[in-house]
Amino acid sequence: MGKEIIRQDKGYVSTLFFNHPEKKNALNADALFALGDAIHKIEMEKKIRVIVLRGAGDAAFSSGMNLSTGRGEFQRAIEALNHCLGNLINYPQPIISMIHGPAIGAGLDIAVISDFRIASKEAQFGAPLVKLGRTYFYTQIERLTRLVGLAAAKEILLTGRLIGSQRAKEIGLVNQIISPDKIEAVTYSFANELAEETAPVAVRITKFTIKKLFEETPLDPALEKELRFLHIDEINRSEDTQEGTKAVIEKRKPEFKGR
């Protein structure tokens, strides 16, 4: 894992830290590949019963993918994101996200994929890519919409605004809101309860059943082809997308033309 992701095990609980506190735990390609590899390794070891995901330091869960990169590195980051999210989705035991500060973009999607989200009062959540001329991939949009409902998903995805922990609790995005000085104790108390008081086989089968029943409704092949075109080809060719990426690199407000 190296320095990008730090793993700490205690009993049946493994904690994975996003380790870029100086950048609000932004996730570059190396961090995403490392997180995906760590999840896979834990699954293969078959001894850990609960994973806790958190950001290093107290300032942020994750501010999302680092977009201040060239095209080649951005494409590698997309591949790394798919690797990471795929392993998170398929991990058979409970995952808890412990959320300080912002959980934005890819950080939000990681939290959404988690089975439980415990947030501090200062936590913020958002998906601001429309402000950069981009969209989230349709699978990410689907996961968020399934979790919080259509109206709340539109509030987050179409405005690009950040919402606070109380609003997140109202829409079902977080399970608990805890004061910053108690969030660690509450999170690990819950993690240990899951690890020690529930049967791993029963939990695995129940989680698999929920996944099959509610998260794997197949899209019509023609619709999926259309969505892939919109989210990969059309959006990447748009002038607004190029302007949004350029504005991030140049640290200025983008000027969108609607084309």
Q: Identify whether 86 is part of a domain.
A: yes
Q: Where is the domain boundary, 177, 194, 211?
A: 194
Q: Where is the domain boundary, 194, 209, 232?
A: 194
Q: Identify whether 216 is part of a domain.
A: no
- Assigned token pair, 152: 């709340």
Q: Identify whether 199 is part of a domain.
A: no
Q: What is the mean pLDDT of the chain?
A: 89
pLDDT above 60 (res 246): yes
pLDDT band for position 25 (cuts 50, 70, 90): very high
Does one domain contain both 29 and 140?
yes
Separation CA 182–CA 23 (nearest Å): 24
Does one domain contain both 161 and 236?
no
pLDDT band for position 166 (cuts 50, 70, 90): very high
Does one domain contain both 137 and 225?
no
Q: Identify whether 204 is part of a domain.
A: no
Does one domain contain both 149 and 244?
no
In this prediction, residue 98 carries a pLDDT of: 98
Does one domain contain both 14 and 142?
yes
Does one domain contain both 155 and 228?
no
pLDDT band for position 2 (cuts 50, 70, 90): low
Q: Identify whether 143 is part of a domain.
A: yes
Does one domain contain both 230 and 117?
no
pLDDT band for position 168 (cuts 50, 70, 90): very high
In this prediction, residue 222 carries a pLDDT of: 80
Query: Chain centroid to CA 190: how far?
Result: 20
Q: Identify whether 258 is part of a domain.
A: no
Does one domain contain both 136 and 234?
no
Q: Identify whether 208 is part of a domain.
A: no
In this prediction, residue 69 carries a pLDDT of: 58
The pLDDT of 186-208, averaged and rounded, is: 93
Here the CATH number for the domain that contains residue 76 is 3.90.226.10
Does one domain contain both 98 and 172?
yes
With CA atoms as reference, report the closest residue to 62 among 26, 29, 90, 28.
26
The pLDDT of 207-227, averaged and rounded, is: 76
The pLDDT of 215-230, averaged and rounded, is: 71
Does one domain contain both 55 and 162?
yes
pLDDT tens-digit profile of 93-122? 999 999 999 999 999 999 999 999 999 999
Q: Identify whether 205 is part of a domain.
A: no
Domain containing 17: what range?
5-194
Does one domain contain both 127 and 25?
yes
Does one domain contain both 59 and 180?
yes
User: 119 - beta bridge partners?
Assistant: 99, 177
Hey, what long-range contacts does 241-248 have (CB within 8 A, 24 or more apart)? 241/132, 241/133, 241/134, 242/133, 243/133, 244/131, 244/132, 244/133, 244/134, 245/67, 245/74, 245/132, 245/133, 245/134, 247/132, 248/67, 248/68, 248/132
In this prediction, residue 75 carries a pLDDT of: 79
Domain count, the chain: 2
pLDDT band for position 236 (cuts 50, 70, 90): confident
In this prediction, residue 158 carries a pLDDT of: 95
